[in-house]
């Protein structure tokens, strides 16, 4: 990706026809959590459909894309669910510039999503697969909708497409079961042969992010993996950067040990430190690790990691899908002093300094300077638009 090149993956244009007016806009526009790129130009000229007399003056209305939207995970300090947060509580800062309030905030809820599930067999995650299958094929209060699209990939000696962009309609459970059965047969056939040149996690995540970029829906990856990578051509940070530019949020589902006699801690599937009830002051395993690249990749792309014992995977699948549906869509105007290149962004909630807040990344088109200079263009003044700061992104962190 170059700083002045057009980034793929913003999605196709959606055209809405209104009598005598054509409006075109991106289906979703958002900012990068760690990097934002402004590129290209946006301009739409609507058509006058009603016949007019030759001597009458035809008025042309120009409509420009100017609103940016970002799906954002917002949880409590312990990654617990929160009640509804008021719109006026959300603020945004770009490049450490002045904080400004979002112009509109709503819950994601039933917005259509494109979900890719990546089953990584290279890190002792096989016991999780059955629970994932149960979580999407047998769950009550089904969290997916017919408008959603789901793909499933298996990762072992190669990256195998098991289910390709199918609707989550009434036939989805059966088709998913067939995909998981195919994956089980494949893994069984590989037991005796082994992998001579196994494929690796970071490369796989980068590939599926690119495939998801073709969708105009909200884009989500669930990586069922222990987060181990021993040979990718790309680093975890490159995979994270690419996912951000493609507006893909990556979530992880990983296994942690739990004594079979102990009940599941209530906070376990939300990424808390795991504490056995018998020893409430003795943490057994710390799920979040600032040195763990899998956790960093997920959170910096706008997702998070869910940790669970294998027998509780189905419940963690519900938590994952619920978290996706309960994200906030934060909207605000294009910054008045926006420039092309990479930009950082922060989101905060009033009185929520310790909240777990993770926005998704995207590339946003930069308005054509000739359009801005056109005297017929009606634009929002600087006082009504956010202002970027001057702090620049370090493209190659040391």
358, 72 Cβ separation under 8 angstroms: yes
Q: Do both 72 and 220 map to the same domain?
A: no
Q: What is the pLDDT of residues 277-309, one digit of tens each?
A: 333 333 333 344 557 899 999 999 999 998 888
- Given 325, 356, 372, the domain boundary residue is 325
Q: Does a structural domain hold residue 396?
A: no
Which pLDDT belongs to residue 37?
Answer: 43
Q: Does a structural domain hold residue 156?
A: yes
**Structural domains counted in the chain:** 2
String of b and e for 63-80 (b: at least 16 CB within 10 Å)?
A: bbbeebbbbbbbbeeebe
Q: Do both 265 and 185 map to the same domain?
A: yes
Secondary structure of 60-98 in HEC code, one letter for each residue: CCEECCCEEEEEEEEECCCCCCCCCCCHHHEEEEECCCC
Q: Do both 260 and 123 map to the same domain?
A: yes
Specify the length of the chain in residues.
398
Q: Do both 298 and 264 map to the same domain?
A: yes
Q: Does a structural domain hold residue 352?
A: yes
Q: Does a structural domain hold residue 95?
A: no
How far apart are the C-alpha atoms of 254 and 10, rounded to whole Å?
29
Which pLDDT belongs to residue 61?
Answer: 67
Q: What is the pLDDT of residues 6-54, one digit of tens each?
A: 333 333 332 233 233 223 333 344 333 344 544 333 333 334 455 555 5
113-120 and 149-155: which strand pairing? Answer: parallel
Which pLDDT belongs to residue 66?
Answer: 74
Q: Do both 274 and 140 map to the same domain?
A: yes
- Given 309, 325, 341, the domain boundary residue is 325
Which pLDDT belongs to residue 392?
Answer: 63
Query: How deeply is 143 buried, as exposed, middle or buried, from its count of CB atoms within 10 A (0-12, 13-18, 19+)?
Result: middle
First to last CA, the chain: 20
Q: Which two tokens stand for residue 253?
A: 């589902």
- The CATH number linked to 170 is 3.40.50.410
Q: What angle do CA 117, 123, 126 make, to 5 degrees?
A: 65
Which pLDDT belongs to residue 379?
Answer: 60
Phi-psi region of 141 (alpha: psi -120 to 50; beta: other; left: phi over 0): left
- Given 283, 304, 325, the domain boundary residue is 325
Q: Do both 70 and 138 map to the same domain?
A: no
Q: Do both 303 and 349 map to the same domain?
A: no
Average pLDDT per block of 10 residues along the chain, 398 residues long: 35 30 35 41 39 64 75 92 94 90 94 96 78 82 87 93 95 93 88 78 97 96 92 95 95 78 45 37 41 91 89 85 95 80 89 94 75 67 66 54
Q: Do both 58 and 120 map to the same domain?
A: no
Q: Which domain holds residue 342?
A: 14-79+333-384
How far apart are the C-alpha atoms of 205 and 185, rounded to whole Å?
23
Q: Does a structural domain hold residue 86?
A: no
Q: Do both 224 and 260 map to the same domain?
A: yes
Q: Does a structural domain hold residue 99?
A: no
Q: What is the dihedral of CA 154, 157, 159, 163, to 10 degrees?
A: -40
Listed in sequence order, the residues at least 6 apart from 250 whose beta carbon sits closer than 8 Å to its beta carbon are 205, 209, 220, 221, 223, 240, 243, 297, 298, 301, 302, 303
Q: Do both 74 and 143 map to the same domain?
A: no
Q: Does a structural domain hold residue 255?
A: yes
Q: Do both 34 and 149 map to the same domain?
A: no
Q: Do both 135 and 202 map to the same domain?
A: yes
Q: Does a structural domain hold residue 372?
A: yes
Q: Which two tokens stand for residue 92?
A: 């945004």
Listed in sequence order, the residues at least 6 apart from 42 whose beta carbon sits closer than 8 Å to its beta carbon are 64, 65, 365, 367, 368
Which pLDDT belongs to residue 108?
Answer: 95
69, 108 Cβ separation under 8 angstroms: no
Residue in 209, 118, 212, 117 with CA at minimum distance from that of residue 156: 118
């Amino acid at each position: 990706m170059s700083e002045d090149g057009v980034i793929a993956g913003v999605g196709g244009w959606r055209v809405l026809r209104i009598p005598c007016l054509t409006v075109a806009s991106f289906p979703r526009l958002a900012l990068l959590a760690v990097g934002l790129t402004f590129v290209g130009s946006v301009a739409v000229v609507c058509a006058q459909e009603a016949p007019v007399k030759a001597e009458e003056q035809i008025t042309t209305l120009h409509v420009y894309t100017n609103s940016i939207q970002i799906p954002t995970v917002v949880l409590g300090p312990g990654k617990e669910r929160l009640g509804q947060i008021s719109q006026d509580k959300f603020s945004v800062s770009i490049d450490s510039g002045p904080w400004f309030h979002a112009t509109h905030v709503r819950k994601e809820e039933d917005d259509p999503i494109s979900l890719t599930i990546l089953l990584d067999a290279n890190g002792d995650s096989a016991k999780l697969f059955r629970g994932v299958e149960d979580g999407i094929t047998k769950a009550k209060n089904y969290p997916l909708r017919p408008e959603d699209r789901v793909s499933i990939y298996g990762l072992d000696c190669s990256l195998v497409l098991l289910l390709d962009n199918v609707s989550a309609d009434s036939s989805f459970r059966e088709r998913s079961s067939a995909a998981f059965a195919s994956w089980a047969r494949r893994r069984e056939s590989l037991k005796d042969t082994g992998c001579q040149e196994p494929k690796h996690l970071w490369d796989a995540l980068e590939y599926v992010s690119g495939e998801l970029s073709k969708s105009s829906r909200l884009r989500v990856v669930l990586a069922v993996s222990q987060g181990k990578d021993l040979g990718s051509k790309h680093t975890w940070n490159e995979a994270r950067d690419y996912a951000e530019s493609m507006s893909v949020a990556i979530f992880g589902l990983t296994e942690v040990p739990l004594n079979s006699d102990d009940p599941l801690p209530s906070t376990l599937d939300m990424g808390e430190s795991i504490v056995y009830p018998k020893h409430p002051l003795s943490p057994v395993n710390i799920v979040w690790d600032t040195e763990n690249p899998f956790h960093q990749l997920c959170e910096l792309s706008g997702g998070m990691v869910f940790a669970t014992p294998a027998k509780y995977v189905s419940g963690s699948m519900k938590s994952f899908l619920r978290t996706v549906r309960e994200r906030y869509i934060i909207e605000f105007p294009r910054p008045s002093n926006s420039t092309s290149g990479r930009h950082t962004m922060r989101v905060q909630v009033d009185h929520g300094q310790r909240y777990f807040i993770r926005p998704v990344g995207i590339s946003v088109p930069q308005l054509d300077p000739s359009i801005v200079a056109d005297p017929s263009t009606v634009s929002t003044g600087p006082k009504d638009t956010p202002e970027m700061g001057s702090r620049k992104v370090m493209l190659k962190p040391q």
